[in-house]
Amino acid sequence: MSVQTLERQKKNSRTSSSNIGLELVVNNQYSSSANYFSINNRRYLGNKYKLNEFIKKIISKECGKFESFADLFAGTGAVASMFQDKHLIVNDILYSNYICYQTWFGTEHYSQSKIQNYIQKYNTLIIKKDNYWSKNYGNTYFSKENCRKIGFIREDIEQNYSANNLNNREKCILITSLLYAMDKIANTCGHYDAYRKNGELNKDLVLGMPLIQKTNSRNEIYNTDINQLAKFVSADVVYLDPPYNSRQYCDAYHLLENIARWEKPDVYGVARKMDRTALKSDYCTISATKAFEDLIKNIQAKYIILSYNNMANKGNDRSNAKLSDDDIFRILKSKGKVKVFSQDYKAFSTGKSNIEENAERLFVCQCF
């Protein structure tokens, strides 16, 4: 990615500051009958929500006071959301996550009443005509009826954005609401590598209002390769939560990525996946160590915090961690002084797991 492209993303992520959000809940300005949701109301592989208290405690103790926080494999944004008072830099290779970051961390002004009106309209829809989504996904992850509704809503959002009835953040908020509503009723175990045969498809699709906190006007939001981004951004604290094993996130969340991008590609196979070649991560391959070493070399920070579990030699080949402890220590020690903290944890995974003594570790590197 070019310097010009990164600068354009940076400019687009820092427009005008929004002063509406979670504080409106406190003032009872949300409708008492509204269906609302927060950033953590989503199933996601490797989600750190249940570890947030542990992570925040270690960062606060080891890093002291700081002004900026970068979460560069941000996933759902759960960790970044703990530092909303800071200048945030968030990034992920998946565009569906980038869309959600614009909702949770964006700075562009939006109309809450407008969002509410769209959501109320969408929740009353009954769509009889087939569309791209129902033709490709009907009675798989969702019922045919819900797929017609999903496809109609997503197309309507795009058309209203093109007609300048929605600004970029309003568009992102509505897509986020749709993504979270889909995740809540999807006929899966929490990801989209496959759907359940003979699963429950009769749940209603109901969009909700996101509970958005007031954001820092300096926030930066990116959707790019992390190793390229590290050359152009800096923060007091950089938090890294790379994929641990060979399971590609674009395979697990191809369906949400398709909705977010809305390019209507051909889809293939039983799981109805689109081409994901450009979304594959080196951190899920044998190139992980080389990529990690390059990343650490280029990071500009006072502290680097790495989340990584102890699965290097446990489970099956796909579950085994791609970075060895020896390589992690060697690479981080070339950058600064390293401490390690751990907590027992059973992560949300792609299947059943009875692996014992699974621990989440935080490697804290105080940079030279």
Residues in the chain: 368
327/290 Cα distance (integer angstroms): 10
Q: Which amino acid, residue 48?
A: K
Which has the minimum average pLDDT: 31-45, 155-169, 292-306? Answer: 31-45
pLDDT given at position 340: 97
**Positive or negative: CA dihedral 339, 343, 348, 354:** positive
Confidence of residue 32 (pLDDT cuts 50, 70, 90): very low
Whether 317 shows a pLDDT value over 90: the answer reads no
> Is residue 222 a contact partner of residue 91, using CB atoms and an 8 Å limit?
yes
Q: Which CATH architecture has domain 3-367?
A: 3-Layer(aba) Sandwich (3.40)
Residue entry with tokens 């600064």: 336
Q: Are strands 359-367 and 300-309 parallel, antiparallel or unpaired?
A: antiparallel
Among 205-214, 292-301, 313-322, the minimum mean pLDDT is found in 313-322
How sure is the predictor about 270, in pLDDT bands with cuts at 50, 70 and 90? Answer: very high
Please give the C-alpha separations between residue 66 and each of 14, 88, 159, in angstroms, as whole numbers: 20, 11, 42
Nearest one of 252, 242, 223 to 284, comparing CA atoms: 242
pLDDT tens for each residue of 71-109: 999 999 999 999 999 999 999 999 999 999 999 999 999
For residue 364, the SS3 value is strand
Distance CA 224, CA 97 (A): 11
Q: Domain limits of the chain?
A: 3-367
Confidence label for 347 from pLDDT (cuts 50, 70 and 90): low
Q: Rounded to an integer, what distance in angstroms lies between the CA atom of residue 302 and that of residue 63? A: 8
Q: Which of 107, 118, 116 lies closest to 29, judged by CA? A: 116
* pLDDT for 141: 96
> Distance (Å, rounded) from C-alpha 325 to C-alpha 323?
7
**5, pLDDT greater than 60:** no
In DSSP terms, 37 is beta-bridged to: 210
| Average pLDDT value over all residues in the chain | 88
DSSP-derived pairing of the beta strands 234-240 and 209-210: unpaired
Ordered alpha helix ranges (H), 86-235: 95-105, 112-123, 132-137, 144-162, 168-185, 226-229
* pLDDT bracket for residue 124 (50, 70, 90): very high
